[in-house]
Structure 1
Amino acid sequence: ITLKFIIIIIFNFFLFSVLIEKILRTVPEVGKIFLLIKAESEEAASERLKNEVINAELFKCIQQTYGECYHDFMLNKLVPVIGNISESNLGLEGDLATVIANEVDVIINSAASITFHERYDIAIDINTRGPAHIMTFAKKCKKVKVFVHVSTAYVNGKRQGRIMEKPFCMGDTIARELNFSNSKTETKLDVGKEIELAVKSKKALENDEDALKKMKELGLERARKHGWQDTYIFTKAMGEMLIDTMKENIPIVIIRPGIIESTYKEPFPGWIEGNRMLDLIVSYYGKGQLNGFVGDPSGIIDL
């Protein structure tokens, strides 16, 4: 088997701990997995790796396999790297960036601001410009085979019924697609101008005590104008557009998950961490403390 070098850009370890565990358990021959983490220091990044991965219950099958050598195995495979997708070159220092660019085969990005009503400038910076920075870095990677980008099912906005997966092309909007009122007279979505608007608005509101509120309102206004319900999914959709525009010869996989909950079978059934999304409902139902839940019987829940 060809040894692979993977860089995983982390937002939180809940989602990607499962992927890391799967890779290490089924393909232990993997070379290195570089974990790009936004952290204050190398010590902080290493501490997160230790607490959220190496010591996590999720990895107990691997721990049983390697026994006393478990920690050495994990530290040999996993390399925490301080970085930031909001910065050029992903915030990586020169020598380290060169090493990764020369070796990495696969790039997986899960970094995102998932606050629905985030400040427009912050959401743009992470969800839209971030993927563009990663694509720029990917083009420097001599061996890269694929770039996997984790988006969200909700970029489909106000589409209804059976929705076939298709990429967003630059300028696509849900409003024009669904023929919202006045949408035919509106210009196409210009991602560059949206980025410029966010930057200029942030600067104009620097000394405004209501800047936070106004920047959040701006994001919602822009999202709803183009057919998305909130700032999060709007900026994620624009991130997909930039990836599609910039990809050139790099193979791209865009994954659009819905709500992510516990493990089904692997590495063992029922693993879940923290209280997210529907976790509390699942927990209380399992304990017999919740007998029913108000909802539409014909509604579809994507879990």
Structure 2
Amino acid sequence: MLDAMDAASIIGYFKGKSILVTGATGFLGKILVEKIMRVQPDVHKIYLLVRASDEPSAKQRVQQEVIDTELFGLLREKHGKGFQQFVEEKVVALAGDIIYDNLGLETLPMLEALAKEIDVIVNIAATTNFYGRYDVSLDVNVMGVKHLCHFARQCANLKMLMHVSTAFVSGFREGLILEKPINPGESLREGTYLDIDAELRLVREVKKELAAMNSSSSDDDDAAHTNKKKTERTAMKELGLQRARHFGWSNTYVFTKAMGEVLLGQLRGDIPVVIMRPSIITSIREDPVPGWMQGTRTIDTLIIGYAKQNLSCFLADLNFVMDVIPGDMVVNAMMAAMVAHSEEKGAQVVYHSTSSLRNPATYNVLYQSGRRHFYENPRVGKDGKVIPTREMYFFPTIARFHLYMIFTYKIPLEILHLVNLLLCGFFSRLYNDLNRKYKFVMHLVDVYGPFAFFKGCFDDMNLERLRLTMAMKTPEDCMFNFDPKTIDWDEYFTRIHIPGVLKYLCK
């Protein structure tokens, strides 16, 4: 049974706490750090683990990539001239990396001192590339969890480990998807058993084979070295996608995040663990900066293409639900969950921070919001003339899109290839450019297509129970709102998210 909470209890929880955050230079990490510092200036310390060669470099990176961003403007105004001193008192940049034992921290005394102080660990660090290198994705999304668990078990005063995953670890199933942990060995394809150690061994073996092949080559100039690196990178990307699909996941990112969750469940011991699984995270809805965002999400490709008018068609069924959730709501849910399950020995709770069940938004809502925004706010070209807003065609199935691509590119490519042969390669550059574009588009469809036609619905009963414990009686309480039912999607997309995409992504 969860205890009742309000803003005062959440704010009070973080007073005097020492918090370790990984992934603080990312979108969600920045929002969390800013929110804690703004609502609870008496937090003891916030340690930010960032990749850097040494402590001064780590400090510089945190300053430039976190503190100096527009996101911290409200906090900057609040503290005035004392802002930088406040930051230096509260924020500690650590040069390290979760892909290494002991988090890559320089000395054992440093690690031991940190372990004595930490009350809460928040793991947001991840490589989110759908088509990333398998070895890199395993290092960050899987082994990173292992190293963090080993460190967490050394923290005598640890009250909570918050791990941010993704709702899409469930794969692209149809129907209601429950908030439940992933069991060891569990995969999405019947008849397969997912052995994490075997996957790690496979990567080592493939890399060893690639190294042996490369060493047999006598070329040792820069071009040959670059080519070897490119070959390894391509091989690791292809291996990740191949292994993900062998076990039933659509891409390397969600596959390795699922493995990370499994490892967390195995290694956590009696540490209280909360796994937060957001769906597609979008721009800030409320505070501190509505519309602020960092990094392009899957749905933003549509907005950017429409804004630039270089996208005449898109792969999506307008009647399908796209599960999206604003970044500030995810952070609010994280903070409430930390308080609710702090010091619950042995607890492992999974939360879906999603919208498809409580307040579904279709692709059509996004498209109509975009049309209205651009008709009301027409773009102006470099010549000062208004750029007309065109309608866009949507392909409701991948099969129809493939057919379109065959007639638009494949058949012309084959004709051009024959002409090219007859004219001794006269059109070779044109042919190669068109072929590259065709392959690139088909690759995008292959990787992103499952998101466009996702038929699942994320159950959020656990998060609903947490919501029901929250008092929403004062403006201060509303600062921790994470109820998707309070979102007017049309208003949010038209007035907040689309302007945010144009300002922060299209610049």
Decide: shared fold, TM above 0.5. yes
SS in 2 for 1:34: strand
Q: Is the 8 A contact 1:54 1:71 kept in 2?
A: no
Equivalent of 1:171 in 179, 185, 189:
185
Deviations 1:41-90 (A, max 9, x none): 32321122111222221112111211111110011111000111111111
- Tell me which residue corresponds to 2:150: 136
Alignment partner of 1:232 is 2:253: yes
The TM-score normalised by the length of structure 2 is 0.55
Equivalent of 2:85 in 45, 57, 72:
72
Once the two structures are TM-superposed, the CA of residue 282 in structure 1 deviates from its matched residue by 4.4
Task: Give the Cα separation in 1 of the matches to 2:183 and 2:81.
Answer: 51
Change (3 A) 1:235 1:283: closer
| 154-163 or 209-218, which deviates more | 209-218
Q: State the AA in 1 paired with 2:164.
A: V
Q: Percent identity among equivalent residues?
A: 40
- Tell me which residue corresponds to 2:68: 55
After TM superposition, the structure 1 = structure 2 runs for residues 52-201 of structure 1, keeping only pairs within 5 Å, are 52-92=65-105, 93-176=107-190, 183=191, 186=192, 188-201=193-206
- Tell me which residue corresponds to 1:44: 57
Q: Is the 8 A contact 1:35 1:79 kept in 2?
A: yes
SS in 2 for 1:300: coil
- Tell me which residue corresponds to 2:375: none
Q: Is the 8 A contact 1:11 1:112 kept in 2?
A: no
Deviations 1:239-278 (A, max 9, x none): 1000001111001111111222211111232222455544
Task: Give the Cα separation in 1 of the matches to 2:287 and 2:38.
Answer: 10
Once the two structures are TM-superposed, the CA of residue 288 in structure 1 deviates from its matched residue by 10
CA RMSD of aligned residues (A): 2.2
Change (3 A) 1:59 1:293: farther
Q: Is the 8 A contact 1:281 1:290 kept in 2?
A: no
| 275-284 or 19-28, which deviates more | 275-284
Q: State the AA in 1 paired with 2:281.
A: I
Equivalent of 1:31 in 44, 53, 57:
44
Task: Give the Cα separation in 2 of the matches to 1:131 and 1:169.
Answer: 16
How many residue pairs match? The answer is 293
Q: State the AA in 2 paired with 1:212.
A: R
Alignment partner of 1:218 is 2:239: yes
Once the two structures are TM-superposed, the CA of residue 218 in structure 1 deviates from its matched residue by 1.9
Equivalent of 1:205 in 201, 210, 225:
210
- Tell me which residue corresponds to 2:456: none
Task: Give the Cα separation in 1 of the matches to 2:264 and 2:242.
Answer: 24
Task: Give the Cα separation in 2 of the matches to 1:68 and 1:229.
Answer: 50
Once the two structures are TM-superposed, the CA of residue 14 in structure 1 deviates from its matched residue by 2.1
SS in 1 for 2:274: strand
Equivalent of 1:265 in 281, 286, 308:
286
Q: Is the 8 A contact 1:9 1:111 kept in 2?
A: yes
Name structure 1 gaps, 5 residues minimum: 177-182
Change (3 A) 1:198 1:288: closer
The TM-score normalised by the length of structure 1 is 0.89
Change (3 A) 1:131 1:82: same
Change (3 A) 1:117 1:290: closer
SS in 1 for 2:83: helix
Name structure 2 gaps, 5 residues minimum: 1-11, 214-227, 325-507
Task: Give the Cα separation in 1 of the matches to 2:24 and 2:114.
Answer: 19
Deviations 1:123-158 (A, max 9, x none): 111111110110011000011111111111221113
SS in 2 for 1:206: helix
Change (3 A) 1:216 1:56: closer
Q: State the AA in 2 paired with 1:241.
A: V
